[in-house]
Amino acid sequence: MSELDLLKNRLGHLQSEALALFDEADSLAALQALRVQYLGKKGALTDVLKGVGKLPPAERPVMGQHVNALKSTLADRLDLRERQLTVVEKEKRVEAERVDVTLAGRVLPRGTIHPVQQGLDEMTAIFSQMGFAIAQGPEIEDEFHNFDALNIPQEHPARAMHDTFFVKDEADDPILLRTHTSPVQIRTMEKLLANGEEPPLAVVAPGRVYRCDYDVTHSPMFHQVEVFKVDEDVSLAHLKGVLQHFLSEYFEKDVSLRLRPHYFPFTEPSAEVDVGCVFCHGKGCRICKGSGWLEVLGSGMIHPNVLKSVGIDSTIYSGFAFGLGVERLVMLKHGIPDLRLFFENDVRFLRRMGS
Where along the sequence are the contacts to ligand DAH (CB under 6 A)? 180, 182, 226, 264, 267, 298-300, 321-323
Of 22 and 342, the one with the shorter C-beta distance to ligand DAH is 342
* Interior angle at CA 218, CA 161 and CA 134, nearest 5: 85
Helix (H, G, I), strand (E, B) or coil at 49: helix
Instruction: Provide, rounded to whole angstroms, the least separation between the CB of residue 117 and ligand DAH.
Output: 20
Instruction: Provide, rounded to whole angstroms, the least separation between the CB of residue 182 and ligand DAH.
Output: 4
Separation CA 127–CA 116 (nearest Å) = 17
Separation CA 205–CA 226 (nearest Å) = 5
Instruction: Provide, rounded to whole angstroms, the least separation between the CB of residue 314 and ligand DAH.
Output: 15
Instruction: Provide, rounded to whole angstroms, the least separation between the CB of residue 212 and ligand DAH.
Output: 14
Other beta carbons within 10 angstroms of residue 177's beta carbon come to 20
Separation CA 97–CA 103 (nearest Å) = 14
**If you write DSSP's letter for every residue of 219-257 in order, what string do you get?**
-SEEEEEEEEEEETT--HHHHHHHHHHHHHHHHTS---E
Separation CA 153–CA 155 (nearest Å) = 6
Of 236 and 280, the one with the shorter C-beta distance to ligand DAH is 236
Tell me which DSSP letter residue 58 carries: G
Of 230 and 350, the one with the shorter C-beta distance to ligand DAH is 230
Of 210 and 264, the one with the shorter C-beta distance to ligand DAH is 264
Cβ proximity of 10 and 48 under 8 Å:
yes
Of 25 and 306, the one with the shorter C-beta distance to ligand DAH is 306
Of 206 and 300, the one with the shorter C-beta distance to ligand DAH is 300
Instruction: Report phi then psi at 116, rounded to 5.
Output: -70, -40
- In DSSP terms, 262 is beta-bridged to 270
Closest CA to 242 of 230, 254, 227: 227
Of 226 and 327, the one with the shorter C-beta distance to ligand DAH is 226
Cβ proximity of 55 and 65 under 8 Å:
no
Instruction: Provide, rounded to whole angstroms, the least separation between the CB of residue 284 and ligand DAH.
Output: 26
Instruction: Provide, rounded to whole angstroms, the least separation between the CB of residue 291 and ligand DAH.
Output: 20
Instruction: Provide, rounded to whole angstroms, the least separation between the CB of residue 123 and ligand DAH.
Output: 14
Cβ proximity of 267 and 259 under 8 Å:
no
Instruction: Provide, rounded to whole angstroms, the least separation between the CB of residue 246 and ligand DAH.
Output: 14
Of 164 and 182, the one with the shorter C-beta distance to ligand DAH is 182
Tell me which DSSP letter residue 66 carries: H
Separation CA 156–CA 148 (nearest Å) = 10
